[in-house]
Amino acid sequence: MKRRFEIYADEVGNRIALPVGFSPLAAVGTWAWAFAKKLWVEATTMLAVNAIAFGVLHANQLPVSFYVAFQVLLGIVVGFNARRLRELAAERAGFAYTATIPAANGATALAMLLQVGGEPLPEWRPRSSGGVPDITPKCIRGWVAVTLLTLKAAFRYRLVVVLLGLLVAVVFALPGIIKHDGTATGFSQILLAYTLTAITALLGFSTLWLACGTLARDIEEMQLFLVVVKPIPRWQIWLGKWTGIMILNAGMVALAGTIVFGLLQVQSRQLGPEEYRRLKEEVLVARESRLPHAPNLDAEVERIYQARKTDPNIAALNPADVHRQIRGQLGGRLQVVPPGEFRPLPFVVDLGPGARERYKGKSLYVRMRFISPEYVPEGMAFNHGWELGGSKARKPERFGNSFGPDTPTEFAISADQVEDDGKLSIRYANLSSLPVVFPTEQGIEVLIPEASFAVNYARGLAVIVCWLALIAALGLFSASFLSFPVASFVSLALLVVGLSGGTLKQVVEQGGIIDVESESGVAKQGSTINAIAVKVYGGAYWVLNQVSSFSPVDSLATGHSVTWWDVTRAFLVVVGIAGGLIAATGITILNRRELALPT
C-alpha cells in the first residue's frame, strides 16, 4: 500500500522524506515523540499540559478514566498534526519543500526522486499554496494560505517561543511575588484577577505589535507586492493575517488559562479549612446575579398627593411636578433605613418558575453593600435583621448578622422560602444606632448557582479572546495605511483613548470642552464648539461604554457567572460590530491603496 511522502531539501542538497497523514507513533508518544523530533517548545508544552491535567484531576479526585480520556484526545490531536510538526522541525533545520511522492516508504520516495535527476515530475505536483489542504474551497484558498503563512512567520521568528516564556513567567512568578492574605478573597484576587489581567495585557500588547508588524513590514519590505499580483483579493490577505493572529492568540489564551486553572486547584489546598470551603462555595462557582424589582410606587404616590392636595398652596401647583417630588422622596426613603426601623418595602427578587425545587438543598447567597451617611469608627460593625419569605403555607425565616459598611458582604440563605411563582421576599431591619443607605446600583442582590466554575472559566477566556480580536483588527487597520512605527503608535493611542471613557463622560456631563466654570464644573451655554463636542464625545462614549462593559476578570474573581449570553453579546458587539467596522475600514483602505509607487 502506497503512502504519500513530502520531500524536503536544504541548500547543500540533503533531502529528507516526511510521511503525510495520521501518525500512530506520534499519537502514542505525544510529548516523547516531539522531543525525539527535536520539537523542544512543542514537546515542553505538551508535557506541561499533561502534568497540569494530571494535577487537576488528582486535586479534584476524579476517576482515572478522565485522565485516560484526556490522553486519548491529546494523542488524536498530535497524531493528526504530526505532518505539520515534522514540517516545522524541517523548516527550522533549514529544509524547504520540494515535492510530494507516492511510495511504499520514505527511502523509496527519495530513490524515485534521484532517478529523475532530483527534479520532480509534473505528477508530483507541489502542494497548494502555503500548504492549504486540497479540500479547501477555491474561493477562500488565498485566505487560508495567508493564515498559515502568518502562523509560520510567528514560529519562524521565535515570537511564539518568547511569548510563551513570558506567559509562563507571569503565571508562575506573579503569585510568588504578591502574597495573598490567606483568605479566599485574597487568594482569588491574586491568582485569578491579577494573573488574568496580566495575561490579557501581555497578549494585548503582543497582538498589537504583531498585527502592525505583519502587514506594515510586508508592505515596506515589498513582500506584499508578490502576493497582490496573484489571483487573491486584498480582503483575503487582510482577513488571513487577522485569522492567523487570532489562532495564535486562542492557543496562547488556552495554554495560559489551563496553567492558571491548574495552579488554582493545586494551591487552593494551602488555605485553611474554612477559607477553602468559602473558596469552593463563593468564588470557584458560577453564580448568576438577580436584582430586586423596582417597586411600583404609583398607588402610594397618588395616595400621598391626594392627602397633600387639601393644602391650597399645593393644589395650585402643577400636579406632574408634585408627583415627581413625592416619587423622589419615596425613593430616598427606600434607600435610607433609619436606626431601629424596617425598610418600608421588602426587596422582591424573581428567581424564575420552579426555583424552590430547582435550588432545593443548595445555598443561595445574598450580596449586600451599604454605606452610612454619618461618621463610622474604623472596625465598627452594624447589626442587621432579615426576614425571608412568609406566606400562608410557611412561616417566615428570621435571623440576624453583623458586618461593616462600604465592603460587599455575602451570606448564605435557604431556598425554602421561595414562593411557588419563583419570587423571594426579603425584609430588612436596621438594628444599629446609625442609619443605613443602600446604593442605587448593587445595594443588594441574590446570587444563584448557574454552572460549574470550569464552564464559567472557559466562557471568561472566550470573552478575553474577543477583546484580543478587536485589538488585532485595530493593529491591522493602522498598518493598512501607515508604516510600522507610526501604526504602532497610532494603535496604542487609540487603545488608550478607548480606555479613557471617564474623560469622554466628563465632557458630556459638563456640556463642552471650553468656557467651563471652575466652581460649577459646567460649560457656558451657547457655544457651537461645545455643542459639537458633546455630540461627538457623547457618541464615542456610548460606543466605548458598550464595548468596555464586557470584562470577565472581576466576575471570575468574585464567583459571578459569565453566561453564554454574555459570550454571545461580546462576540456580536466587540468582534462583530466594533471589530467589523474597524476591519471594513482597514480593508477598504488597503484595497484603495496604491502599492509600489515610485519614491
Nearest-angstrom CA–CA distance, 415 and 427: 15
Number of other CB atoms surrounding residue 574 within 10 Å? 25
Nearest-angstrom CA–CA distance, 257 and 254: 5
User: Which residue type occupies 62?
Assistant: L
CA 508 to chain centre: 29
Q: Which three cell numbers stand for residue 555?
A: 466576575
User: Is there a contact between 476 and 238 (Cβ–Cβ < 8 Å)?
Assistant: yes
Nearest-angstrom CA–CA distance, 560 and 448: 9
- Using the 8-state DSSP alphabet, how is residue 50 labeled? H
How far, in Å, are 5, 168, 269, 509, 512 from residue 461 at the CA level?
A: 39, 17, 24, 34, 39
Give the CB-side neighbour count of residue 49, counting CA atoms within 13 A.
21
- Using the 8-state DSSP alphabet, how is residue 147 labeled? H
User: Is there a contact between 475 and 586 (Cβ–Cβ < 8 Å)?
Assistant: no
Domain assignments of the chain as residue spans, ordered by start: 1-127, 140-285+453-599, 336-451
Residue 129 host element (H or E): none
* Short-list 553, 551, 466, 467, CA closest to 260: 553
User: Is there a contact between 333 and 344 (Cβ–Cβ < 8 Å)?
Assistant: yes
Three-state DSSP class for residue 496: helix
Give bridge partners of residue 366 from the DSSP assignment: 411, 446
pLDDT tens over the chain, length 599 residues: 577 888 888 888 888 888 887 888 888 888 888 888 888 878 888 888 777 777 766 655 666 777 787 788 888 888 888 887 888 888 888 888 888 888 888 888 888 878 777 677 666 655 544 456 555 677 777 788 888 888 877 776 667 777 777 777 777 776 666 666 677 777 777 778 888 888 888 888 888 888 888 888 888 877 777 777 777 888 888 999 999 999 988 888 888 888 888 778 777 777 788 888 877 877 788 888 888 887 777 777 788 888 888 878 777 778 788 888 888 777 777 788 889 888 888 888 888 888 888 888 777 888 888 888 887 787 788 999 998 886 666 788 888 889 888 888 888 888 888 888 888 888 899 999 888 888 766 788 888 888 888 888 889 999 999 989 989 999 999 988 888 888 888 888 777 766 655 556 666 666 655 655 544 445 555 566 666 766 666 666 665 665 556 678 888 887 888 888 888 888 888 888 888 989 999 999 988 887 765 55
User: Is there a contact between 312 and 411 (Cβ–Cβ < 8 Å)?
Assistant: no
b/e code 71-83 from CB counts within 10 Å (16+ = b): beebbeebbeebb
pTM of the shown model: 0.71
* Short-list 331, 437, 432, CA closest to 377: 432
Q: Which residues contact 79 (CB under 8 A, 6 or more apart)?
A: 22, 23, 24, 26, 27
Strands, E, within 23-103: which ranges? 96-103
Return the CATH fold of 336-451.
Jelly Rolls (2.60.120)
Nearest-angstrom CA–CA distance, 63 and 65: 5
CA 26 to chain centre: 33
Three-state DSSP class for residue 598: coil
